[in-house]
Amino acid sequence: MDDRKFIVSSSPHIRGPEDITRIMWAVVVALAPAVVWGIFVFRDARPAGTRWCHWMPLYPAFIAALAVATAVATEAAIQRLRGIRVTIRDGSAIVTGLLFAMIISPCVPWFVPIVGSFFAIAIGKHCFGGLGCNIWNPALIARAFVLSSYVFPLTSVWHYPADSITMRLGKETDAITRPTPLAAVKDPLKSLNKQAEAANKRALLEKVRADNRTPYRDLLFGNIGGCLGETSALLLLLGGVFLMLRGYVKWQIPIPYLATVALLGWALPVKVQGEWIAFAGDPVFHLLAGGLFLGAFFMATDMVTSPITKKGMIIFGIGCGLLTVIIRIYSGYPEGVCYSILLMNTAVPLIDRYTKPVKLGAPR
């Protein structure tokens, strides 16, 4: 008989087969199809203005490998400096590096994944005490850092899948850059107020959106420009469902998050030539575009930086959805997933405080 069953210790006393290592490697498995597909889709991507890497096949794979290797090396180095056990085999550093690689452009310079992954582990994680102590999602806080440090390579050039566009144009091209789907819709909307008067402003709004909207099929299967993790909403959704079926992700965060984005993306008004027009948005487009599925299933659900209670999780998910849509529609930034989750991470202690269950026998 196992003597460990008779050891008296502090709660919790119920033990299960799951541990950090098993959960983290399950996340890697869930992310793997989207990562591989993204590398395939953007296999021709190269950073602008550099020649040394033009001979390199699968440059996005090189970027992802750099991000993961830097995260693992930084984790091991800091744990040795702190004099604690090195735990790189648990997969947490690999997940952080992989997630960071998925939220940057596949054609960024080689030093961006190194700087970002180092910042994610050293500052976003170990400055707060290591795994389980960080306030913000390490990959997202690193994304915010590199976005403010390297604005041009992260926002000015977005590589577009060359195969489908080349076939449509009937030309031989090395690479094509285009705005991301969210930027392609948002930028023309800013110029509506400068156009001539229109008898039906709602019709004008619908026409502008229809002319610049990426087809649902391209969003679903990844025939779009953007980050490595924006390529296929379908594969990200399947990965998220896999984690939910394994019990590692609770529905209380991603479902309210997605539902809020769909509802507000359809209902919130947009100003057209001085008139506010409501209920004219496209909820399906808001769901499929950008990194929403990646954020909803793989980042907002981070066990360390999300609420503990079920009620708190629902509030957290709704808050993430609300901030995402507000940033997308009303700010100068086309995507809002990153900053919405970071802002809600900051509010997690407050959410936990006001949603904790009443103690047994205590007055309500």
Q: Are 137 and 341 in contact (CB under 8 A)?
A: yes
How many whole angstroms separate alpha carbon 308 and alpha carbon 305?
Answer: 9
Query: Confidence class of residue 69 from pLDDT cuts 50, 70 and 90?
Result: very high
What would the pLDDT profile of 168-180 be if each residue is shown by its tens digit? Answer: 333 444 444 455 6
What is the mean pLDDT of the segment spanning 119-146?
Answer: 94
Q: Give the CA angle between residues 77, 82, 87 to the nearest 5°.
A: 60
Q: Is the pLDDT of residue 80 over 50?
A: yes
Dist. CA 322–CA 330, nearest whole Å: 12
Angle, helix 111-122 to helix 138-149, in steps of 10 degrees? 130
pLDDT class for 46, splitting at 50, 70, 90?
A: confident
pLDDT in tens, 187-243: 555 555 545 444 566 666 666 566 556 788 888 887 777 788 877 899 999 999 999
pTM of the full structure? 0.84
Alpha-carbon distance 338 to 335, whole Å?
Answer: 8
DSSP state of 299: I
Domain ranges of the chain: 20-155, 181-223+232-349
DSSP 8-state class, residue 296: I
Give residue-wise pLDDT tens across range 8-19. 666 656 666 778
Q: What average pLDDT score do residues 104-125 get?
A: 93
**Cα Rg of the chain (Å, integer):** 22
Instruction: Using pLDDT thresholds of 50, 70 and 90, give the confidence band for residue 6.
Output: low
The one-letter amino acid at 125: K
Q: What is the pLDDT of residues 337-360, one digit of tens each?
A: 999 999 999 999 999 999 988 776
Picking from 183, 139, 115, the residue whose alpha carbon sits closest to that of residue 341 is 139
Bridge partners (DSSP) listed for residue 176: 160
Contact in structure between 240 and 251 (CB atoms under 8 Å): no
Distance CA 232, CA 229 (A): 7
291/154: higher pLDDT = 291
Place of tokens 């915010």: 144
